[in-house]
Amino acid sequence: MIKMKRHYYQRIIFGLSIFTACCLSASNISSEEELTRGLSCFEIGYRFGRCATQAMLGKKCDPKDDVIVPERCQDQAETKRGIEAGVNSVYKP
């Protein structure tokens, strides 16, 4: 059972990473959003991962977590760790 949960989490994180890398890099957002300005890439990844996971589960996310990953944080290890922590936070009681 633990093996199945880990596999499920890995799929979510992989999907979010692909989404971040492919889709968001194609956007034409020239300036960073007000919601992400001044935040670390980990915090941005955390908010992104948390909101995206809640949305996939049919839940509403906090508007402050509904962020777009800025170009400065795309493909960063810190962002990926934040996404993973955000995903995991949704599943913890």
The model's pLDDT over 8-22, given as tens digits with 9 standing for 90+, comes to 666 676 666 655 554
Which range marks the domain in which residue 14 is found?
Answer: 2-27+34-91
Checking if the pLDDT of 55 tops 70, the result is: yes
Model's pTM, two decimal places? 0.67
CA dist., res. 32 & res. 13, Å (int): 23
SS3 content of the chain, % helix, strand, coil (to 5): 65, 0, 35
Q: Structural domain tally of the chain?
A: 1
